[in-house]
Chain A
Amino acid sequence: MMLDVLLVVGLVVSAFFAIYLDEAIHAVLSLAVMNVILSVFYFSLDTPFAAVFQLTMGIGTVAVLFLAGEMLTTKVGTAQTPRQRLLGLMIGVLLSVPSILAVGHKITVTSPFRFPFSTALWELRAIDVMAQSLVILTVAIGIAMIFKEKRRRP
């Protein structure tokens, strides 16, 4: 129960800071913290595959965003003062109050359909996985074409 509350507060506060902070690098770092807390949260929900996937993909996305933020943005002079950051922290904690109240009322429903994860992914959703690989390939080719087009017409 205590761990749940801590995870909920950490998640909402880091999510709010990812939007609230003016400096892009700090916001991206806050997003990274949010991804790590979310992964721990998924572990606590007994969904380990989702947790590992969230951690790997989330950190990968954050790394790319971090590089982009570092390359493309300059330090802004209007970054928040410590007082404004404290205010942001308080707003984040306030935003997490409804979720904390809901944590106390756990509802457990058992599904009549129970599949192991490998069956769910490789047998029930096999076509989706194949289509997914096509989507990823198309995206990779698309991004390569965007940059190639740019190089051709500087």
Chain B
Amino acid sequence: MEYIILSMTLLAIGIYGLATKYDLIKLLISIEMITIAASMNFVIFASSLNDALGQAFMILAFSVDTCITAVALALVIIVYRKLGTLDIRELSKLKE
């Protein structure tokens, strides 16, 4: 239970990355960090309550997170092939 602060720290680092970075791969890493922080709570509670159900939830949640990362990465590759940049500022300018 005492590790909740650790998961909140990881969440804060992920949000910091989302707010300050402009590279799409860095943004993906930030999203990965946030999902790790979220699924970490399942393990922390499973450990402190001595209940295996939390581990099962963690496995289910982390599988979906990995699927999300896979789809996002596919979109990043398509964007790079089509537009030749991964900088979200330039991508925003292209929209105009």
Residues of chain A touching chain B, judged by Cβ–Cβ distance below 8 Å, are: 8, 11-12, 15-16, 18-19, 24, 27-28, 31, 34, 38, 42, 45-47, 49-50, 53-54, 57-58, 60-61, 64-65, 68-69, 71-73, 95-96, 98-99, 102-111, 113-117, 119-121, 124-125, 128-129, 132, 135-136, 139, 142-143, 146-147, 150
Residues of B in contact with A, size category: 35 or more
Whether A68 touches B76, Cβ cut-off 8 Å, given contacts A16-B13, A111-B49, is: yes
Instruction: Establish whether residues B48 and A15, one from each chain, have CB atoms under 8 Å apart when the complex forms.
Output: no
Residues of chain B touching chain A, judged by Cβ–Cβ distance below 8 Å, are: 1-6, 9-10, 12-14, 16-17, 21, 23, 25-26, 28-30, 32-33, 36, 40, 42-44, 46-60, 62-64, 66-67, 69-71, 73-78, 80-82, 86
Q: A17's closest neighbor in chain B, by CB?
A: B13
Instruction: Establish whether residues A64 and B76, one from each chain, have CB atoms under 8 Å apart when the complex forms.
Output: no
B31 to chain A, nearest CB (A): 11
Whether A65 touches B73, Cβ cut-off 8 Å, given contacts A47-B43, A124-B56, A125-B56, is: yes
Q: Which of B29, B57, B66, B69 contacts A18 (CB 8 A)?
A: B29
Residues from chain B with Cβ under 8 Å of A61 in the complex:
32, 66, 69
Q: Which of B2, B14, B16 contacts A102 (CB 8 A)?
A: B2
